[in-house]
Amino acid sequence: MGKRIFLIGFMGSGKSTFGKKLAKELSLPFIDLDKEIEIKAKCSITDIFKYLGEDTFRKMESDCLHELSNRDEFVMATGGGAPCYFNNIEHINKKGTSIYIELDPQSIFNRLSNAKNIRPTIKDKKDDELMSFIKEKLAERETVYKQARYTLNGLSINVKEVADKLVTSNW
């Protein structure tokens, strides 16, 4: 099993929750890319977007991803946009094993509508705007997400089963 595992997928797909559990199951360190960016920038993601803008955030995100992916072993939850800029999906696939956590727009909406405020790309959106944003962005990003080595259905993930498949290379 490759010991660098990258979880990719849309906001709200459960990358961090699943990532922590998978890391524990595989006895690997867990990395949350968004948290690492915040530590490095000494600033919240919300404030990076607000004061420095999205382009700067994407550059910081990509730099942080490249830096951290030199570590030998980890399970990393990436931000929803991380693989989609600067051809980062290629870098991810070169460095380790990528897993796409796939979720339908309605389930993403249900999860995000209660947690909008911590996410600058959706915080001011009304329900109908949020749904349109999810559908459009997901359609746009799916071609990237689908370049992951493996895909999991975000509604029915069994951590032990996934860990087993990774260890035995029996996906």
Residues at the contact surface with ligand S3P, assessed by CB under 6 A: 11, 34, 45, 79-81, 119-121
Q: In the complex, what is the shortest distance from the CB of residue 29 to ligand S3P, in angstroms, rounded to a whole number?
A: 18
Q: In the complex, what is the shortest distance from the CB of residue 49 to ligand S3P, in angstroms, rounded to a whole number?
A: 7
Q: Chain centroid to CA 89: how far?
A: 11
- Write down the residue that tokens 């595989």 correspond to: 26
H/E segment holding residue 76 = strand 74-77
Which residues have CB under 8 Å from 114's CB, separation 6+? none
| CA dihedral of 94, 31, 58, 63, whole degrees rounded to 10 | -60
Residue whose CB is less far from ligand S3P, 132 or 160: 132
Residue whose CB is less far from ligand S3P, 26 or 77: 77
Residue whose CB is less far from ligand S3P, 34 or 102: 34
Q: In the complex, what is the shortest distance from the CB of residue 90 to ligand S3P, in angstroms, rounded to a whole number?
A: 18
